[in-house]
Amino acid sequence: MAKNDIKPKDQGGALMVIDFAADAGMGLENMTSQDMAIPFFNVLQKLSPQCDTIEGAKAGMIFNTVTEQSYKEIKVIPCAYKREFVEWRPRASGGGLVGQHTITSDVVSAAKNIDGKLTTATGNVLVETAYHFVLSVSDSGSIEPGLIVMSSTQLKKNRRWNSLMNNLKVQGPNGMVTPARFSHMYKLGTIQEQNDKGAWFGWTIDTIGPVSDANIYQAARDFAQQVSSGTVKTAAPEQDHVETVQHF
């Protein structure tokens, strides 16, 4: 019997074999990426509402917004990258997402720095936001797509991570080459940081090494292509999370 087979008893008392593999994908045919949520992996802060509402969630942990699980660290394969400016309406004016803009858009070019915040002519705030599309890899080898968002104080970590990837070299048939973004796995954790405004938790990034499982490598490659083709689109992070990070 296969690992995922179940043998319930039928009405006559005999054992029936349920073969999940034989019916793989049934009932899921009409779902697209628009029907599913890709989780954000957020670093929880002292002011994060999840610390008060989700059991086991504590400041400094990494929170999965779909499964609502918290981790001290995660292993990820970065697959694709995007940087943009997210426009938010101030909470005093009702709050909420206004739009997302490329770094070269007219909205960004016309904005002015007011009290340390990039502000539009209408008073909305533009937050520079870096998105890392990743596959998280569990100790058992299961994988899950997700988004890691870096802004404010974490943009320095974003640049360091990109530099780590860009500086990788492997031997190719005609010499050394820079491998694909999804060629290596990284361990992400958190560390407490501070400045004159207060203390918070930021990302730590350590290289684990090359991806060794061919199936996981192919899954990462497929995810990268989905992002590149526009099948997977960037969603804005929650305003509560952005404001908590921007506080520092």
SS (H, E, C) the chain: CCCCCECCECCCCCECCECCHHHCCCCCCCCCHHHCCCCEEEECCCCCCHHHHCCCCCCCCEEECCCCCEECCEEEEEEEEEEEEEEECCHHHCCCEEEEECCCCHHHHHCEEECCEEECCCCCEEEEEEEEEEEEECCCCCEEEEEEEEEHHHHHHHHHHHHHHHCCCEEECCEEECCCHHHEEEEEEEEEEEECCEEEEEEEEEEEEECCCHHHHHHHHHHHHHHHHCCCCCCCCCHHHHHHHHCC
Residue 34 reports pLDDT greater than 80: no
Residue 19's closest CA among 32, 7, 28, 9? Answer: 7
Residue 31 reports pLDDT greater than 50: no
pLDDT for position 36: 46
Distance, in Å, from the CA atom of 88 to the CA atom of 4, rounded to the nearest integer, reads 46
Residue 9 reports pLDDT greater than 80: no
Distance, in Å, from the CA atom of 159 to the CA atom of 172, rounded to the nearest integer, reads 26
Distance, in Å, from the CA atom of 38 to the CA atom of 45, rounded to the nearest integer, reads 21
Average pLDDT, the chain: 87
Tell me the average pLDDT across 3-31. 64
pLDDT for position 197: 83
For 53-102, write each residue's pLDDT tens digit: 999 999 999 999 999 999 999 999 999 999 999 999 998 888 888 999 99
The ranges assigned to domains in the chain are 34-80+133-246
pLDDT for position 16: 73
pTM: 0.81
